[in-house]
Amino acid sequence: MKKKSIAILPGDGVGPEVIKQAIKVLDAISDFADIEFDYQYGDIGGKALDRHNTPLPKETLQLCTSCDAVLLGAIGDPKWDSGPADKRPERGLLGLRKELGLFANLRPARVFSALENASTLKKEIISGVDILIVRELTGGLYFGTPAEDQGDKAYNTMVYTQKEVDRIADIAFAAAAMRRQKLTSVDKANVLLVSQLWRRRVKQISQTHPNITMNHMYVDNCAMQLVRNPGQFDVILTGNLFGDILSDEASMLTGSLGMLPSASLGESRALYEPVHGSAPDIAGQNKANPIAMIASVAMMFRYSFKMKNCATRIENAINRVLTEGLRTVDIADSNTTAVSTEQMGTAIAEKCL
């Protein structure tokens, strides 16, 4: 029997509720694939501030570095919104990414056929859309120095090194090879010097992947094309700022943020979490959509555990449940009846057996 240790970080808001459903699915897969999971729980974000006066306790970091993978529910608590920078829940997630060396964020945006009417775009535009955005996570404008707010003047610095571009490009080309072998690199090379470096390096690396069809696209055009013709994209490779914006835009193709999982990968560590936030307005009401969290578990099997059969089984279970008409409130319409977080999680877990 295989054994895998998983650090479970429920976090804030609806995090504990969706994590509970992920555990149901893991238990079902455990029976199917003859795997024994060791769940080890830790605090992060607002919950950690309440209990430890820090958003990322040393005990949590040690736990995450000792496990095979990390599952995170959600970060954010209104109680701490007005606190000092180092006492904000989000600092826990940023710190964890840094300490684990997580430089690649993978966000799939897949439109399930049963949910084509849930999107704000026409059915014929989003039918069959399946995009993977590969976003560089630790460089660019968010982390460049110098950066300062001087009151009447403020500035940030966008910086990328050749090494940073090369390693995220390697991840993206490898992902494209596992999919439809098409990659779009997004930049602003007509204006930004840092994007010119980005484009040179991606073009150079593409020469070692002759089976991958690669094209370059300016970020403003990409934002337009995601709405105009999203089906043209397979893998989108881009930097931290552009990836942050484009991945949120792509998420709405699916009809709800509650449908989108993510994986943050490093050289030897990985963290999996839903794209949605802590949703404090519905926390504790058994309304949250657990599908993004459960789909993040599928990504864990695909990228950390290299067990594609288990990942596919979970994804098929999600599709079957949606096809049968089950919906949480965020994706329900006049022709369907909304079910609870618990009911959706149980239904998907049963399909995994």
Which sequence positions are flagged as catalytic?
A: 142, 188, 220, 244, 248
Find where tokens 């919950």 sit.
47
Q: What is the 3-state secondary structure (H, E, C) of the chain?
A: CEEEEEEEEEECCCHHHHHHHHHHHHHHHHHHHCEEEEEEECCCCHHHHHHHCCCCCHHHHHHHHHCCEEEEEECCCHHHCCCCHHHCCHHHHHHHHHHHCCCEEEEEEECCHHHHHHCCCCHHHHCCCEEEEEEECCCHHHCCCCCEECCCCEECCCCCCHHHHHHHHHHHHHHHHCCCCEEEEEECCCCCHHHHHHHHHHHHHHCCCCCCEEEEEEHHHHHHHHHHCHHHCCEEEECHHHHHHHHHHHHHHHCCHHHCEEEEECCCCEEEEECCCCCCCCCCCCCCCCHHHHHHHHHHHHHCCCCHHHHHHHHHHHHHHHHCCCECCCCCCCCCCECCHHHHHHHHHHHHC
Q: Which residue in 104, 9, 76, 52 sits closest to 299, CA to CA?
A: 104
Would you say 288 and 14 are in contact if contact means Cβ atoms under 8 Å apart?
A: yes
Rounded to 5 degrees, φ, ψ at 107 are: -125, 105
Would you say 353 and 310 are in contact if contact means Cβ atoms under 8 Å apart?
A: no
For the chain, how long is the longest CA-to-CA vector? Answer: 62
